[in-house]
């Protein structure tokens, strides 16, 4: 294995993209701290977690799929569908949350299972299958209703408004804990279970994995199911955050999730990348949003141009650093 010598410590080349992302994230935070007053505080980082807990959960599912060399475009729509189903079931028939949430999770995982099965069994490109899934889930949202449905269930609102105080006046929301647990469980599955091995092997080379006797088909179906489950869970977290269900929630979130995974150093061709990188990717996207809100006076189109530019600078630096050290 190629290693890179940095001073006295040596870092295996496979950790390099994650390391570069981490350093750039720190640099961005420091620059923000110098530029804006009140930026350099622990709560700013925690707020990034609070505002992006659902994206983090969705991106975890996306990491599984991308590690096998696939892609899941349906996540944003499944998130929206989850908020829509929860809101309408609690408002109309008045179902209690402890029935609604499991149901939503099962529906999300079920959709993922179906997509995974089609990808595997009929050998259709994942991009297209999940694109159809995206249309389907979005269409189901509009079929349920075209307006935003507010969530007024007391358990839901209590959970949404709960604050967990940490030391020194800092706080997080319960959603952050859910997201962190998801990340930890996913990291365990990826690195310490057979499924995780099979995921990396399938992404590295599907044919070699098959020849080695790994259950490639089952793995593929499993990752889409995991992604569907994570999207549904992300949808539940988003309905805590928004306290409403709406067919236009999370439009374009699939691209955010893919961007987070790729910024975290995972290759879209599969087989290479880490979950920790995805966490960093989500933090980078969140920090870009934070910088824009600290900037304050940007119009909506300058915001988009600014996001594009920051994304570009970040990717460019990341690319330059990893390319130089690979030589």
Partner 1 sequence: MRRLLWPVVVLALLLVLNVFFTHGFFSIQVRDGHLYGSLIDILRFGAPLILVSLGMTLVIATGGIDLSVGSVVAISGALACLQISEDASVFTAVAVALGLCLVLGAWNGFLVAGVGIQPIIATLILMVGGRGLAQLITDGQIITVNSPAYKLIGGGYWLTVPFGILIVIAVLAITAFLTRRLALGMLIESVGGNAEASRLAGIRSRGIIIMVYAFAALCAGVAGLMISSNVSSADGNNAGLWIELDAILAVVIGGTSLSGGRFSLGGTVLGALIIQTLTTTIYSIGVPPETTLLFKALVVTAVCLIQSPSFREKVFRRRGRAAPSSPAAEEKVRITA
Binding site for partner 1 (CB under 8 A): 118, 121-125, 127-129, 131-133, 135-136, 138-140, 142-143, 146, 206-207, 210, 216-217, 255, 258-259, 262-263, 267-268, 299-309, 311-312, 315-316, 319, 323
Q: Which residues pair with residue 115 across a beta bridge?
A: none
d(CA 230, CA 235): 8
CB of 62 to partner 1, least distance (A): 12
CB of 192 to partner 1, least distance (A): 27
Q: Are 298 and 40 in contact (CB under 8 A)?
A: no
CB of 142 to partner 1, least distance (A): 4
CB of 177 to partner 1, least distance (A): 30
Residue ranges in 205-252 assigned as alpha helix (H): 206-211, 216-242
| CB closer to partner 1, 65 vs 160 | 65
CB of 122 to partner 1, least distance (A): 4
Q: What is the DSSP string of 50-95?
A: HHHHHHHHHHHHHHHHHHTT---TTHHHHHHHHHHHHHHHHHTT--
| In the chain, beta strands by DSSP E | 3-6, 9-12, 149-150, 164-165, 171-172, 244-245
| CB closer to partner 1, 138 vs 249 | 138
* Cα 45 to the center of its chain, rounded Å: 17
d(CA 155, CA 166): 23
């Amino acid at each position: 294995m190629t290693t890179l010598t940095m001073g006295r410590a040596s870092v295996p080349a496979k950790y390099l993209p994650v390391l570069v992302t981490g350093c750039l994230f720190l640099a961005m935070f420091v620059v923000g701290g110098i530029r804006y007053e009140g930026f350099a505080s622990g709560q700013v980082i925690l707020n990034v977690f609070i505002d992006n807990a659902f994206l983090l959960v969705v991106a975890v599912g996306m990491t599984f799929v991308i590690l096998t060399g696939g892609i899941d475009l349906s996540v944003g729509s499944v998130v929206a569908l989850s908020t829509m189903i929860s809101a309408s079931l609690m408002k109309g028939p008045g179902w209690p949350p402890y029935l609604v949430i499991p149901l939503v999770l099962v529906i999300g995982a079920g959709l993922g299972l179906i997509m995974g099965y089609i990808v595997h069994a009929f050998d259709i490109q994942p991009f297209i299958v999940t694109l159809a899934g995206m249309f389907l889930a979005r269409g189901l949202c509009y079929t349920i209703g075209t307006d935003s449905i507010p969530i007024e269930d007391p358990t839901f609102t209590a959970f949404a408004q709960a604050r967990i105080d940490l030391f020194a006046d800092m706080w997080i929301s319960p959603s952050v804990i859910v997201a962190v647990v998801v990340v930890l469980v996913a990291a365990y599955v990826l690195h310490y279970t057979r499924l995780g091995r099979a995921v990396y092997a399938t992404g590295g080379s599907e044919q070699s994995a098959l020849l080695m006797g790994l259950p490639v088909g089952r793995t593929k179906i499993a990752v889409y199911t995991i992604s569907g489950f994570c999207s549904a869970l992300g949808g539940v977290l988003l309905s805590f955050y928004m306290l409403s269900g709406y067919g236009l929630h999370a439009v374009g979130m699939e691209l955010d999730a893919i961007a987070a995974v790729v910024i975290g150093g995972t290759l879209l061709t599969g087989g290479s990348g880490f979950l920790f990188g995805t966490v960093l990717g989500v933090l980078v996207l969140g920090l870009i949003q934070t910088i824009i809100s600290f900037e304050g006076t940007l119009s909506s189109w300058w915001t988009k141009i600014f996001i594009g530019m920051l994304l570009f600078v970040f990717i460019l630096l990341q690319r330059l650093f990893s390319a130089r050290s690979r030589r």
